[in-house]
Amino acid sequence: MWHDPDDAWFKRQLEKRDEFTRQTIRKIDGACSSRDLEELHAALANLLISTAAQEELIGALEAVNRCEMFYRFDDNSAGGAPRPTGAGLAGEGLGTEYIEVIRRNQRTPAPTLAAKALQSHGPHVLAGTIDRLLRFPVADASVLPLLRKLAKADRFEGRLNGLGRGRDFRLGAPARRAIVLTTAALAERAGST
């Protein structure tokens, strides 16, 4: 049985998606300021495999390309300020691949709130949206290409406090089930008209 989408619920998901995007931009800006390669990697987690399409991310990634160098820093257990270890990594071009992924994602139409909620790189947002589509299937063909990409990506990294590893999100199997339910909802709706 298919359901009409709950627009209020999906609007809340969009707010969560947008907040996650703002947090990511702040983390990217912080990594550019500190030139910390680990912070940058934490900020960029999941972007390459994501369905994110937010234009604001592109500006932050262009700033990464303008950063001169990023470094790994020692933990400096002897005290004092952390110091760079090893050779640095030039910032020029680091953001380019991420920008290309976002541009490709922007070409996938997302006319509905459900589809827009799936255009994210936040594992919590994506997992919540997929769960909602599993519990309340919608007859919305625009979610299918996004679900297919998430099914293919499968594992999204969870992060705690931006750096430490958290629980990973396995989105592949739930996304594949959501594809089946959405396809069935579309067929049911077509049969009822």
At 26-62, the pLDDT tens digits run 999 998 888 888 888 888 888 999 999 999 999 999 9
Residue 72 lies inside a defined structural domain of this protein: yes
**Does 2 fall in a domain?**
no
Tokens of 57: 């991310």
The range of the structural domain enclosing residue 169 comes to 7-192
Average pLDDT, the chain: 87
Phi, psi dihedrals of residue 108, rounded to the nearest 5°? -85, 115
With respect to residue 65, please indicate whether it lies within any of the assigned structural domains.
yes
Average pLDDT over residues 109-121: 94
CB 53 within 8 A of CB 119: yes
Show the beta-strand stretches assigned E in 96-183. 155-156, 159-160, 164-165, 169-170
Residue 62 domain-assigned (yes or no): yes
Q: Does some domain include residue 1?
A: no
Q: Is the pLDDT of residue 151 over 70?
A: yes
Question: In this predicted structure, what is the pLDDT of residue 157?
Answer: 82
Tell me how crowded residue 174 is: count the other CB atoms within 10 A of its CB: 19
State how many domains the chain has. Answer: 1
| 102 within some domain | yes
pLDDT at position 116 is: 95
Prediction pTM value:
0.85
Residue 77 inside a domain? The answer is yes
